[in-house]
Structures are given as structure tokens and as C-alpha cells.
Amino acid sequence: MVGYRMGVTNFDIAILAPALEKGMHFAWQVDRGYGSSKGERRSMMEHTVEYLGRILVVDDSNTIRRSAEFFLKQGGHDVFLAEDGIDALSKVYEHLPDLIFCDISMPRLDGYQTCAIIKSNSRFASVPVVMLSSKDDVVDRARGRIVGAQDYLTKPFTKNQILNAVQQYGVPFQGVA
């Protein structure tokens, strides 16, 4: 998060326009305080540039995709959805996510294959992948680690579980109660 105190002008907005195009979020807050020893009241504007992460959710279940999307958007994130591994690969190239949640059991290309392909590309190898599964099995967790997944989240997950995973992997995050 970048912040500074300033009076906002059209020139300032023009400078910030490219950041808007890249999906950065802007929060404007008014800070009223006392400026001089004479008690003059000054109004200053604080401009905060707050980048929140792009997250890809890959699951063949519409219910799981929409639940994750709802929770993640409450955290202030840009969320992209894919319904299988093939769809996920095109979304990874298109949106360059900061974090990927990927179901294990999917048609066409399963989660293990999807994760392995993503991790084999040097451009995306550093993107954290969290595997999603309805089974809490040690073998599934180990297989996920072998293909490069950083973590494993059991479905159904809560809002706190998914937002904690986002925060754990360093994705910029807007705290929400």
C-alpha cells in the first residue's frame, strides 16, 4: 500500500490513470486536523493506493466457485473463475493471478495435472497454488506437494479459511470482519 498526503488535482488523477487500468484500487480518505498554533483548521486529503490480489478459483462445481468468489470479493480481491483445468490454463495466461485455488477432481484435466503444467512454466512457477478437495486424505495432500502445490484446503471451506489462505501466501488483502 502506498500512501501520501496531498491536495488532489486533475494532474494527480492523470498520473494515477495507468494504475487504474492495471486494476489497482484507490481509497480516498479525508483527514481533518488543526494546522497551525493559531488553531486554523485545515482539510487535507490522504490518497492511498491499495493493490489487492488477483485470484483464480478453479472448480467444476458452480457452488464452490461462487462461494469462493463471494468470500474473496468480500476481502476486496479481483476474482476469476474457471470450471476445469483447460479453462484454468487460459485464465492463468490471461489474468496473471497472484494465487490459485484449484480443485483436484475435475473433468478433462484434473487439479494435479493443472498444477503441474502451471508450475512447469517459469513465468508462473512462483504463483502459489492451493489444492481444493472434499477428501482430507494424506495421499492427496502429498500428491499435491509433489506437483508443486503450496497448500491444501478441504471443502466445504469457510470465509475465514479461504481468506487466511490468501493472507498466508502474501497476497495483498483488505481486512474484513
Give the residue extent of every domain in the chain. Answer: 2-50, 54-168
Position 17 pLDDT exceeds 80: no
Q: What is the pTM of this model?
A: 0.70
Position 89 pLDDT exceeds 90: yes
Amino acid identity of residue 144, one-letter, is G
CATH 3.50.50.60 fits 54-168, yes or no: no
Exposure string for 132-163, b = 16+ CB within 10 A, e = fewer: bbeeeeeebbebbeebbbbbbbebebeeeebb
CA distances from residue 77 to 107, 121, 135 in whole angstroms, order as listed:
27, 24, 27
- Kindly report which listed range (10-14, 57-61, 104-108, 169-173) carries the lowest average pLDDT score: 10-14
For residue 52, how many other CB atoms are within 10 A of its CB?
Answer: 21
Strand ranges (DSSP E) for 59-150? 78-82, 99-103, 129-133
Please give the pLDDT value at position 173: 52
**6 Cα distance to chain centroid:** 29
